[in-house]
Structure 1
Amino acid sequence: MNKFSWYEAKSVEDALEQVNSTVSEQLYESGKEAAIFKSGGIDVFDWIKEGLLKPQKIINIRNIPGLDKISYDRKEGLSIGANVTLAEIASNEEIKINYPALHQAVIHAATPQLRNMSTLGGNIAQRNRCWYFRSADHECFRKGGDRCFARHSDHGQNENHAIIDNGSCVSIHASSIATALMAFKASVVIVNSDGKKKKVLMDDFFVSAGEDISMETILQSKELITDIVLPPFSKNTKSAYLKHVARESYDWSLGDVAVVMEVSGNTCKSASIVLGAAAPVPYRSLQAEEAMEKKDINQQNALAAAEAAMSIARPLSKNGYKVPLFVSIIKQAILEIT
């Protein structure tokens, strides 16, 4: 681990003034150094320990006032500060009752110890967990290399990787909480160094590998997430979340799904269905949504929606099991709405 200086940011503006403007160009070049933000710090310190990131300065934003609040407004909806921990979200009764899919996603994320440290902003901004991407010995596409080791290596390990939108990078995004947030059509509030704020839908916050192989989100080097905002809840809004892992205790997702529906009786008026661990970013299944809209919520229609979602799946050499897995959990999540 290289030596670095530590700076305690007093405000968002203070933090943005400190950051190195060339950080985004220096992240994977081991001979260069940059300033970086740190909140919970779990992902940041993983990068540093692996020698993939060698910052000259770490700017601690964890103690900035105002970024650790949860509030609700009938017009604006639910606002969760970027520094709110996953444990605080898990213990919030309003979220548990009115946004159950988000609550379920959070309590199934990481361990209790990690939830006490991890912040929501850091969780959605973390990089993917592909073992080749995280290896200093493998220069993959995302790090400026000329190949995807998971896809093309003779012994490539891709059993946990993407089955949708996997034409270039086949990694999957690490945040299963983002799956639920996107299903609720949440927005991310971002502020830049000029103090200007922008509110971006989760669907537009993530960047597909086909758009830009070097990016996973639109977040730039001199920008910070301040809040994540969910639309106001309605008594007709129902939601469910399911996650499948290899071990019951704690493991990265093999497949997860969040379903948010506007219902009338047992009929789906509109559906929002998002898949996690299926593509390089959280993936909205328009096929499943269209299959469920204006339909009764029953076994037949739920199965048809799940199969529609997987109609575009293109599994790799070792992850074909994900197709029936997703069919099962999508169907089950839809049926849980009732």
Structure 2
Amino acid sequence: MEAFQWQQARSPAEAAALVTQTTAEAMLTLQGMRSAQQAILVKAGGVDMLDLMKEDLVNPRRLVDISRLAELQGISREGDGSLRIGALTTLAQIAAHPGLRQSHVALAQAAAMAASPQIRNRATLGGNLLQRPRCWYLRSAAHHCLRKGGGHCFAFAGDHRYHAIFANHGCAIVHPSTPATALLAFHAQVELLHPEGRRRQVPLEDFFVLPEVDMHRENILAAGEILTAVWLPPQIPANRSLYLQVAEKAAFDWPLAAMAVVLDLDAGGFCREASIVLGAAAPAPWRARQAEALLAGAAINGETAEAAGEAALAGATPFALNAYKLPLLATLVRRAILAAAALPQDPRAS
């Protein structure tokens, strides 16, 4: 790690005005271009940023610390029932929040299963959504891969056991955020702040980008923009949700396969609407649209849940070493649908 300056931001607008590059841009220009060492980058919890700096993947001239900005912290319910989660809210706070554990079960579960207790108490929601992928070729200073401006993806002919099975033709990363899978299932939006004070809200589904759109970044965040909050729309009291994952270790590990489901059920147990999102499966959280369509208007039972699990795999193109993800994901979808349908309703429904 090289020497760098440290600056405590006094406001989100000041931080946005100071930052000159996104982390993705800094990693891209670092390869053979020493100008990247002049970059000014933003730091929140610092979990991912310090990893990248220690591995010599980014060498910023200055870090702008936003971790003390109170306006970016906390969870609040608005008058229309929507929820605002500040970007600096930690994963531990999300996992323990009583309101989220009732109205957004899948999100609280996803936050509780991320990393380790020590990291959850430090890692912020904004930082978790913006972290770089955990592909070992991207994280290796010795491999100049496509995502860093190189000529090819080393995972294709290399070790791709943890890589994507969807949208994996140009770059085979999987998105590393666990909460993002649940947030997308709840149709969340991100709030972005421009240095001039302009704010915009972007659906999370539009915020993430696939390699076919931009090979060098995972989202549309621009240099000079700060992710300030995540918004969750009001939930129907009858909605049930669940998050499940499978990992090699029970703690401090990224999932091999994950999924979140949100079901809107009528009194007879028929599904009015379903949202199913797969994690650890694609370069962005992956909507299983065929599975969602199959459940719409159907009764939730073992047969329909199993059919939805199979439908969730539509379009998959696994590699030789990661085809094991197919049965894992199908099983998780089936189990989550049945378990979510059996959950008691939100107390607000009574």
Q: Shorter chain as normaliser: what TM range?
A: over 0.9
- Report if the CA contact (8 A) 1:191-1:224 is conserved: yes
The equivalent of 1:299 in structure 2 is: 302
Counting aligned pairs with the same residue, the percent is: 41
| Structure 2 residue 321 is matched with structure 1 residue 318 | yes
Going from structure 1 to structure 2, the CA distance change for 1:148 and 1:23 (only over 3 Å counts) comes to closer
The equivalent of 1:327 in structure 2 is: 330
**Which digits, 9 at most, give the CA deviation of each residue in 1:21-70, with x for residues without a partner?**
58764433332220000000000011100001010000000011211121
- Report if the CA contact (8 A) 2:247-2:254 is conserved: yes
TM-score by length of 2: 0.93
Query: Aligned equivalents of 1:290 and 1:313: distance in 2?
Result: 17
**Which digits, 9 at most, give the CA deviation of each residue in 1:141-180, with x for residues without a partner?**
111111111103xxx1111110011111001011011000
Q: Following TM superposition, where does structure 1 have runs of at least 4 consecutive aligned residues deviating by more than 6 angstroms?
A: none
Going from structure 1 to structure 2, the CA distance change for 1:22 and 1:320 (only over 3 Å counts) comes to closer
The equivalent of 2:347 in structure 1 is: none
C-alpha displacement of 1:248: 2.0
Aligned match for 2:211, one of 209, 212, 215: 209
Which residue identity lines up with residue 117 of structure 1 in the other structure?
Answer: R
- Report if the CA contact (8 A) 1:73-1:232 is conserved: no
C-alpha displacement of 1:8: 0.1
Query: Aligned equivalents of 2:329 and 2:92: distance in 1?
Result: 28
Going from structure 1 to structure 2, the CA distance change for 1:317 and 1:23 (only over 3 Å counts) comes to closer
- Report if the CA contact (8 A) 1:189-1:225 is conserved: yes
C-alpha displacement of 1:221: 1.2
Query: What secondary structure, in the 3-state scheme, does the structure 1 residue paired with 2:272 have?
Result: strand
Query: Aligned equivalents of 1:108 and 1:124: distance in 2?
Result: 15
TM-score by length of 1: 0.97
Which residue identity lines up with residue 259 of structure 1 in the other structure?
Answer: V
- Report if the CA contact (8 A) 1:240-1:336 is conserved: yes
| Structure 2 residue 252 is matched with structure 1 residue 247 | no
Work out the number of aligned pairs and report it: 335
Which residue identity lines up with residue 242 of structure 2 in the other structure?
Answer: A
Of residues 173-182 and 225-234 in structure 1, the stretch that sits farther from structure 2 once superposed is 225-234
Going from structure 1 to structure 2, the CA distance change for 1:24 and 1:166 (only over 3 Å counts) comes to closer
The equivalent of 2:11 in structure 1 is: 11
The equivalent of 1:309 in structure 2 is: 312
The equivalent of 1:263 in structure 2 is: 265
Which residue identity lines up with residue 276 of structure 2 in the other structure?
Answer: I
Going from structure 1 to structure 2, the CA distance change for 1:23 and 1:125 (only over 3 Å counts) comes to closer
Query: What secondary structure, in the 3-state scheme, does the structure 2 residue paired with 1:274 have?
Result: strand
C-alpha displacement of 1:234: 1.8
Query: Aligned equivalents of 2:23 and 2:258: distance in 1?
Result: 32
The equivalent of 2:344 in structure 1 is: none
Query: Aligned equivalents of 2:66 and 2:22: distance in 1?
Result: 19
Query: What secondary structure, in the 3-state scheme, does the structure 1 residue paired with 2:229 have?
Result: strand
C-alpha displacement of 1:117: 0.4
Which residue identity lines up with residue 120 of structure 2 in the other structure?
Answer: R
| Structure 2 residue 88 is matched with structure 1 residue 83 | yes
Going from structure 1 to structure 2, the CA distance change for 1:217 and 1:263 (only over 3 Å counts) comes to same
The equivalent of 1:29 in structure 2 is: 29
Matches within 5 A, 1:112-151: 112-151=117-156
C-alpha displacement of 1:201: 0.6
- Report if the CA contact (8 A) 1:190-1:198 is conserved: yes
5+ long unaligned stretches in structure 2: 342-350
The equivalent of 1:227 in structure 2 is: 229
Query: Aligned equivalents of 1:284 and 1:99: distance in 2?
Result: 18
C-alpha displacement of 1:249: 2.9
The equivalent of 2:346 in structure 1 is: none
Which residue identity lines up with residue 304 of structure 1 in the other structure?
Answer: A
- Report if the CA contact (8 A) 2:40-2:64 is conserved: yes
